[in-house]
A and B are shown apart, each in its own frame.
Chain A
Amino acid sequence: ELKVEQNPLFLSMQEGKNYTIYCNYSTTSDRLYWYRQDPGKSLESLFVLLSNGAVKQEGRLMASLDTKARLSTLHITAAVHDLSATYFCAVERRGSEKLVFGKGMKLTVNP
């Protein structure tokens, strides 16, 4: 059974600081997604990572994928308050259409 673990689950950080969050998964996967969710809202797609070594950047966020280690990282650079949200990673198992989600990381960026 595919399991997806995120850590940390809660993070409070100061504006301007950098931090990396992690997503581990247990079995071979086709692709990995990062989503952002604001309270009471739907999921906003941030990144789709398709292959080993993939790195994508959007603004202050950069995501990478290491399929050998079954690990993805989401790096936050010079955090701002607007980044406060819950961030989920989700993995699509090879041969399956369903996404398996981590529990999410609730990020609070303090001014």
Chain B
Amino acid sequence: NAGVMQNPRHLVRRRGQEARLRCSPMKGHSHVYWYRQLPEEGLKFMVYLQKENIIDESGMPKERFSAEFPKEGPSILRIQQVVRGDSAAYFCASSPSSGGRNNEQFFGPGTRLTVL
């Protein structure tokens, strides 16, 4: 059973460009979470999605950032008009369900975004 997959693993963008980060959850998982990690910091929650629904986006910046998890295909975190402050590691996690004891989140390898 493959784990959570993210691509690309490394992404370099110039200021003003768009960044698209992809996350494929573990097989059988329908819940996806995105977190951002700045250098020397812990992870900060950004958004929680289920298929075709954004459940909690309380950690998403109000502008330039968006996320989706379509019926088919991976979850996408999109950052428009990137700025240097967006440089970070972006981790995706997935879980099989919400609530109960079986919703532990499993993390992907992360995408390291560098904005020049």
**Which residues of A pack against B, CB within 8 Å?**
4, 33, 35, 40-43, 45, 48, 50, 88, 90, 96-104
Give the chain A neighbours of B110 by CB distance below 8 A. Answer: 41-42
- Answer whether residue B106 sits at the interface, using C-beta atoms and an 8 A cutoff: yes
Residues of A within 8 A of B93 (CB): 99
User: How big is the B interface, by class?
Assistant: 20 to 34
Whether A97 lies near B48 (C-beta < 8 A) is yes
- Within 8 Å CB of B105, what residues of A? 99
Q: Does B44 contact A (CB under 8 A)?
A: yes
Residues of B within 8 A of A (CB): 31, 33, 35, 41-45, 48, 55-56, 58-59, 91, 93, 95, 98, 101, 103-110, 112
Chain B at the A interface: mostly helix, strand, loop or mixed? strand
Query: What 3 A-B pairs are tightest by C-beta distance, nearest first?
Result: A101-B42, A98-B45, A43-B107
Note all chain B residues with C-beta closer than 8 A to A101: 35, 42-44
Chain B residues with Cβ below 8 Å from A43 are: 43, 91, 107
User: Closest CB-CB distance, A11 to chain B, in whole Å?
Assistant: 15
Residues of A within 8 A of B45 (CB): 98-100
Set of chain B residues within 8 Å of A33, measured between Cβ atoms? 104
* From A4, A98, A99, A103, contact of B41 by CB (8 A): A103
Q: Report whether A97 and B109 are in contact in the complex, using a CB–CB cutoff of 8 Å.
A: no
CB-based nearest A residue for B44:
A101
